[in-house]
Structure 1
């Protein structure tokens, strides 16, 4: 049993004693846009408080209308809004937790026509150009922060966090690249940090000494013209002197060309930038970004990098993270895999956040608690993500579950995903499923192909078919040529691709295969390799913490990707991670051709056409990533016998390898069995 003594040690922050060092970081959820929003938010945060997290940081609330993230975004500037906040704070306090309100002015990132900034330069990630704030407007904004802080305390929050990181308004003032002002809030270093220091002082004056005052600093900007490490350390000392009780550390701007929180970023990659802040101040410092296990969190505190750890997405994945840590059950934590598919990707596409590995996240009021009214004998066929999720959730509701898997091991398509560079966290997902199945006493039938005879004989009250997919084989001459491989052959290690490879199909699987053939698995596991690949200055001595990206020489393979659609390849990739994958493949000189039709594969290579013009690509192998078919053979046999099996996952819809939809569907089905 792992010991996490430091994580579990109480800490005094200002006048508040936190029961442990684990914090739920702030995140946008957009839950306020759904029906029963305040009930949803209260249930969402209360579940994490009941899971014994030491402190909760709310999603960001703007102090004035110009600072909202988007039209109708969270805003706290009137007393009439307090009752909806009291519903949240009362729920958290009733569950034994503490919560602070994050105050966030989006600045030039605000997706509203009236957005503002220290200057008029437009952010490349926003369609709207900001209007430069006048000196009086800057002072008025300081007052707005203080007013919102006072309202937060009035609503029952245990304090506030001032969001000064990630490229939002305050960060835009501190960085020379976005602050060319010639008044008292611009110019040299002292002028650029005046705005946040005025805010901290004003907030402290309004809320008094009792409530916590947290400041989120950018520990490394990762943009040209950002602060360097020495400036950040000096700024942190000034923030402490201005009245902050605790400094939280952010990493990068949203427009940075360096990944900061995706699974391709090594765990705790930003520890040196955080340590720089920690060594500069005497108040507690919180670490953040790519901390997803108690072991990583414990080590950060034990090594003196930080006093607390902030984990946002890991608390989406498992609201009981802290409780399981205390109980010595870290192997039962549903680990965040850093996929971003259900959280950031949904937020960036104007949808509400949830979690791929935990569909209950943000949907707590939709899932009944406790056991099912009637315990049933349930057969689940297929040990991939859908089958395992269904088996676990059904067993949690008191059903007697038998899980059949034709392979000798569980995992299904997860066993393919986990070998792709940057997707090593899928090992954690599989570990959680296996541990949970054992803990719940689910009967496993591995290496046992379920038959219609065995299932339809009355031994089971419910039959769930999660038999997944089979690769689609396109219909043109030569698809049976020895040069042709399936993505399953390649990712399973059954076949080794040659030096010249064509990939047919440019969905998520095609890009995963390209990354598998070209990527460096060390990049997502070793900080030094990651920093070198993305041009990060480990010493943070340069402006923004960036350095020159050097060429790596010729890639070990020549890869050419094709798709039938006449549109740029990769359009369907995740909003927050697709750009990372495309950038890496561009660096590896991958050729990408859209609007292709295929004539044949033969000894010469791949014969294809673009705009009717024929081409031949000499290759050693052609990897087929041309989609999938649902595997419904067993389902159809059961239906023919009069049974009523239920379909989930790829067996229901064969759209890519969609673990997000599969696990959500499986979890919801288990609730109604």
Structure 2
């Protein structure tokens, strides 16, 4: 077996885990509005259990009305909740593959939203969780004790539902960590003051659960090893909390990081301390040092988590003694069978998480259900798909980007005879450009996966084909999936003929070389990435955006990242600004009522893209059945391209 240390058993309290891989809790928003487990949610977890992980920790689950964080969050309040969750645990245990399943109990505290709960949030003190958040109501001493009891009763219901153990969410600025932190806990009673007082709430919850359920019922906590915020808890204090919790009876601790609030100025050059969703711009295993520090002080198993997406890294962590177990979250969204494939030495078969956060974090913050950019089957594990064809059709897929490659594989799996036709000499489409800017290298792993998977099929690949329409008509396919992508837009600017111009795509591909000061017109995602790319090369860059902010539509961490990078690289950003025209080498900008003139050497267009779908009408007129997917429908992202390609391939 490959990775022998990762796949050796580990004792956690009274349980023996079959390996050291843990599925970390992630809110999926797959439950009903009442918080009941749906078939969609149940089968999502069962699929991960089939994949070979040692322990599943089911997502943060609300147990009081005011503690709910998300509209479709899983609940553990009533007998009906218990009944539905029992279906989940029964299905997992019936697999007989020795996977264990815990559930995380979660109270959002001051981070709860009255638009979701209909109730004012509660917290240790009446301080907003972060600037702009609702001001919570300070809990009375009696309410504090009621909430301690509510945690205990939730754990009892969890055992009734068949879970093998319980995790208490004590991280990321929710209720329990807001008691722990001096930043959010200004109480003067026994639940405030020094660290001992601020830890009392958590410790009484732990004591209460152990007293009612017995010392043999496994209990873990998840903490932020460092909150990475000004005035928040640091690693040394959190290690003291961990020691107190160990003495109170917890059986293991999962060490995450981060909270909500103002970041420390000294951390601005370390992305993982600023970007709390740990996107692809952060380093692999960036939180491991926190777990390693705690492991030196604790007797109980320590679980590390955060940007660990490859079994080789997980094995290294175990071998070096930095943690006892390794938790993965997003990588198991991307591929539930990662553990099984890793143990068999089939790393090339693992569909890689690229930490883009487009389908997970971005959607959860919008109160939407979780999807995955690279896995079109996430959340659809129960769906029935068309049976394989007995007599396969002849299918042409035009375009070898993510949509086309996903479509080709899905069609081949159904038993069709598939050919991929690519006009250029490179496979991968937009993935080739998307992986070039700083911090985006992770995208290349997905392209590598797609190409390796293609080699394991009987799909025929035709490259460098120019007269595609004629070629297709001569081939007389039964159907065509058009995945021809998009092409960059330009914009008419008066006087532009007097200056060197090019598109962002031409810059990133190396097709054209900029000179002098570069003005990048458009600060969407592509414009920001291009400005970052040029800044990294040491060029002076001016970024102009007509909207009031850069990276409109991107998640908050992506915007923060670009602002950090532009400050570091000296990129000059003009928002709410128009480019009126060129006066020889002077770009005339208008910001409000003010006109600004700047001398430039190159004008770079990053003003969007338009579908490259000219082939569609030609093929339809020839009587060929055609389905469009990906950017040739509408320019969007990897998530939409992959899902549409998969759908087309499965249903062709």
Same-fold call, TM > 0.5? yes
Q: Do structure 1's residue 639 and structure 2's residue 602 form an aligned pair?
A: no
Query: What does the per-residue CA deviation read over 1:507-538, in whole Å, with 9 as the maximum and x for residues that have no partner?
Result: 11111111212249xxxxxxxxxxxxxxxxxx
Question: In 2 relative to 1, CA 449–211 (structure 1 residues): closer, same or farther, beyond 3 Å?
Answer: farther
Q: Do structure 1's residue 349 and structure 2's residue 351 form an aligned pair?
A: no
How far is the alpha carbon of 1:355 from its aligned partner? Answer: 0.4
How far is the alpha carbon of 1:443 from its aligned partner? Answer: 1.8
The equivalent residue for 2:633 is 652
The equivalent residue for 1:538 is none
Query: What does the per-residue CA deviation read over 1:615-666, in whole Å, with 9 as the maximum and x for residues that have no partner?
Result: 43211211101111211232232123222221111111134xx222111111
SS of residue paired to 1:457 = helix
Structure 1 window deviating more from structure 2 (351-360 vs 479-488): it is 479-488
How far is the alpha carbon of 1:225 from its aligned partner? Answer: 1.8
Structure 1 window deviating more from structure 2 (139-148 vs 494-503): it is 494-503
Distance 2:361 2:58 in 1: 16
The equivalent residue for 2:270 is none
Q: Do structure 1's residue 625 and structure 2's residue 595 form an aligned pair?
A: no
The equivalent residue for 1:42 is 42
How far is the alpha carbon of 1:449 from its aligned partner? Answer: 3.7
Question: In 2 relative to 1, CA 378–484 (structure 1 residues): closer, same or farther, beyond 3 Å?
Answer: same
Q: Is the 8 A contact 1:384 1:412 kept in 2?
A: yes
SS of residue paired to 2:57 = strand
The equivalent residue for 2:172 is 166
1:461-472 → structure 2 map (5 Å cutoff)? 461-472=478-489
Question: In 2 relative to 1, CA 450–392 (structure 1 residues): closer, same or farther, beyond 3 Å?
Answer: farther
1:78-117 → structure 2 map (5 Å cutoff)? 78-95=78-95, 96=97, 97-112=99-114, 113-117=119-123
Q: Do structure 1's residue 558 and structure 2's residue 560 form an aligned pair?
A: no
Q: Is the 8 A contact 2:129 2:260 kept in 1?
A: no
Question: In 2 relative to 1, CA 499–160 (structure 1 residues): closer, same or farther, beyond 3 Å?
Answer: farther
Distance 1:33 1:282 in 2: 40
Q: Is the 8 A contact 1:403 1:445 kept in 2?
A: yes
Q: Do structure 1's residue 246 and structure 2's residue 228 form an aligned pair?
A: no
Query: What does the per-residue CA deviation read over 1:228-270, in whole Å, with 9 as the maximum and x for residues that have no partner?
Result: 3222222212211111111111111144641141111100012
Unpaired runs of at least 5, structure 2: 264-273
Distance 1:497 1:165 in 2: 47
Distance 1:627 1:376 in 2: 36
Q: Do structure 1's residue 570 and structure 2's residue 551 form an aligned pair?
A: yes
Q: Which of 424, 431, 453 is the matching residue for 1:414? A: 431
How far is the alpha carbon of 1:440 from its aligned partner? Answer: 2.4
How far is the alpha carbon of 1:206 from its aligned partner? Answer: 2.1
Q: CA RMSD for the aligned pairs? A: 2.2
Higher relative contact order (CA 8 A, sep 6+): 1
The equivalent residue for 1:447 is 464
How far is the alpha carbon of 1:597 from its aligned partner? Answer: 4.0
Question: In 2 relative to 1, CA 168–638 (structure 1 residues): closer, same or farther, beyond 3 Å?
Answer: same
How far is the alpha carbon of 1:448 from its aligned partner? Answer: 3.1
How far is the alpha carbon of 1:319 from its aligned partner? Answer: 0.8
Q: Is the 8 A contact 1:30 1:352 kept in 2?
A: yes
Q: Which of 657, 664, 667 is the matching residue for 2:646? A: 667
How far is the alpha carbon of 1:461 from its aligned partner? Answer: 1.7
Distance 2:591 2:37 in 1: 50
- Count of matched residue pairs: 634
| Structure 1 segments of 4+ aligned residues over 6 angstroms from their partners | none
Question: In 2 relative to 1, CA 416–470 (structure 1 residues): closer, same or farther, beyond 3 Å?
Answer: same
Q: Is the 8 A contact 2:130 2:260 kept in 1?
A: no
Q: Is the 8 A contact 1:31 1:352 kept in 2?
A: yes
Q: Which of 488, 492, 512 is the matching residue for 1:495? A: 512
SS of residue paired to 1:203 = helix
Question: In 2 relative to 1, CA 93–621 (structure 1 residues): closer, same or farther, beyond 3 Å?
Answer: same
Distance 1:620 1:268 in 2: 41
Question: In 2 relative to 1, CA 579–374 (structure 1 residues): closer, same or farther, beyond 3 Å?
Answer: farther
Distance 2:402 2:582 in 1: 34
SS of residue paired to 1:231 = helix
Question: In 2 relative to 1, CA 321–480 (structure 1 residues): closer, same or farther, beyond 3 Å?
Answer: farther
Q: Is the 8 A contact 1:111 1:126 kept in 2?
A: no
Question: In 2 relative to 1, CA 596–577 (structure 1 residues): closer, same or farther, beyond 3 Å?
Answer: closer
TM-score normalised by the chain length of structure 1: 0.90
The equivalent residue for 1:259 is 275
Q: Do structure 1's residue 268 and structure 2's residue 274 form an aligned pair?
A: no
Q: Do structure 1's residue 211 and structure 2's residue 217 form an aligned pair?
A: yes
Unpaired runs of at least 5, structure 1: 521-555
Structure 1 window deviating more from structure 2 (305-314 vs 615-624): it is 615-624
Distance 1:398 1:254 in 2: 50
The equivalent residue for 2:267 is none
Query: What does the per-residue CA deviation read over 1:451-473, in whole Å, with 9 as the maximum and x for residues that have no partner?
Result: 22221234422211111111112
Query: What does the per-residue CA deviation read over 1:88-139, in whole Å, with 9 as the maximum and x for residues that have no partner?
Result: 2122223333211101111111112421111111122663211111222222
1:290-305 → structure 2 map (5 Å cutoff)? 290-305=307-322
Distance 1:631 1:194 in 2: 62
SS of residue paired to 2:649 = helix
